[in-house]
């Protein structure tokens, strides 16, 4: 695990910090590091706190792989979906701390958590894929359907980004705190979660997230199958026809 994803475990709480010194873009490598940190937390039986750096939780998926073609895009989406599935099924409490901006994959991480705290400030939170020329992944649609309020879910198609207070109203966050209150509130909530009966928590979480987890898995498999079909169709076309199709011509 690199220094861009750090984990420290103390008094039954695993503190996972994402800090790449920039915007915490989530590459497949960074997603893998978060998975390794979750492995350590689960092994220790610890409540997990996932947080970003000051001013940024995560800018979302690392975008360059999406420009490298279908295979790279598919692997990125698969890695993100698997992390979301892991968090929804994680048998210990997960608390996310939105320390600033949270763009799509960052928002997905928050929506996968059991408790979501955020800091007040000039931050933007949401799912803006449509505004940057991307289609919202099917797994993310199912996750949003599970967590967001109906108005919050309906707004995904027009790609707005929200202030922390708006994000609270729409279901992205559970609480918004002033910067001076955040650290104390996070420690208090993590300690409260640690005091829960963990077998009861795990069983109840599994029941609550069961349908959403099934929907996320089905959506991911469906999207991967669709991308396989698209790739196979392109590979069977003669070069001239393939080029014409890419330009949108018959």
Q: What is the CATH number of the domain that holds 62?
A: 3.90.226.10
Q: So what's the pLDDT on residue 74?
A: 86
Q: So what's the pLDDT on residue 230?
A: 52
Q: Is residue 39 part of a domain?
A: yes
Q: Is residue 91 part of a domain?
A: yes
Q: Is residue 25 part of a domain?
A: yes
Q: Is residue 44 part of a domain?
A: yes
- Tokens (6 digits) for 245: 């199709």
> 100, 123, 96: which is closest to 110 by C-alpha?
96
- More confident site: 210 or 234: 210
Q: Is residue 88 part of a domain?
A: yes
**Displacement of CA 99 from its chain's centroid (Å):** 15
- Tokens (6 digits) for 53: 């750096």
Q: Is residue 215 part of a domain?
A: no
Provide mean pLDDT across the span 164-181. Answer: 98
Contact predicate 58/24, CB 8 Å: yes
Average pLDDT, the chain: 91
Q: Is residue 153 part of a domain?
A: yes
CA distance 116 to 113: 7
Q: So what's the pLDDT on residue 228?
A: 67
CA distance 3 to 242: 44
239 pLDDT above the threshold of 60: no
> 205, 212, 125, 210: which is closest to 170 by C-alpha?
125
Provide mean pLDDT across the span 123-147. Answer: 96
Residue 224 — very low, low, confident or very high, per pLDDT cuts 50/70/90?
A: confident
Q: Is residue 212 part of a domain?
A: no
What sign for the dihedral angle of Cα 22, 27, 33, 36? positive
> 51, 62, 109: which is closest to 82 by C-alpha?
109
What residues are paired with 95 via a beta bridge?
49, 115
Provide mean pLDDT across the span 3-14. Answer: 96
Q: How many domains does the chain have?
A: 1
Q: Which domain holds residue 155?
A: 5-180
37 pLDDT above the threshold of 70: yes
Q: So what's the pLDDT on residue 190?
A: 98
73 pLDDT above the threshold of 90: no
State whether residue 190 is helix, strand or coil.
Answer: helix
Residue 124 — very low, low, confident or very high, per pLDDT cuts 50/70/90?
A: very high
With a pLDDT cut of 70, the percent of the chain lying above it is 90
70 pLDDT above the threshold of 90: no
């Amino acid at each position: 695990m690199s220094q861009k994803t750090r984990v420290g475990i103390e008094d039954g709480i695993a503190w996972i910090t994402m800090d790449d010194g920039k915007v915490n873009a989530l590459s497949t490598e960074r997603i893998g590091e978060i998975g390794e940190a979750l492995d350590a937390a689960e092994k220790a039986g610890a409540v997990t706190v996932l947080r970003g750096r000051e001013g940024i939780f995560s800018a979302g998926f690392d975008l360059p792989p999406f420009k490298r073609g279908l295979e790279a895009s598919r692997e990125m989406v698969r890695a993100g979906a698997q992390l979301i599935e892991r968090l929804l099924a994680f048998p210990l409490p997960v608390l996310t701390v939105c320390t600033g901006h949270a763009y799509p994959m960052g928002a997905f991480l928050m929506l996968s958590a059991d408790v979501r705290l955020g800091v007040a400030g000039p931050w933007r939170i949401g799912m803006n894929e449509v505004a940057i020329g991307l289609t919202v992944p099917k797994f993310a649609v199912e996750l949003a359907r599970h967590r967001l309020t109906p108005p919050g879910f309906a707004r995904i198609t027009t790609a707005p980004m929200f202030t922390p207070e708006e994000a609270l109203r729409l279901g992205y966050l559970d609480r918004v705190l002033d910067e001076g209150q955040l650290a104390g509130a996070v420690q208090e909530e993590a300690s409260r979660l640690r005091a829960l009966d963990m077998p009861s928590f795990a069983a109840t979480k599994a029941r609550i997230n069961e349908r959403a987890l099934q929907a996320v898995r089905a959506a991911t498999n469906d999207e991967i199958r669709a991308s396989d079909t698209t790739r196979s169709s392109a590979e069977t076309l003669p070069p001239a026809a393939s080029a014409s199709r890419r330009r949108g011509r018959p």
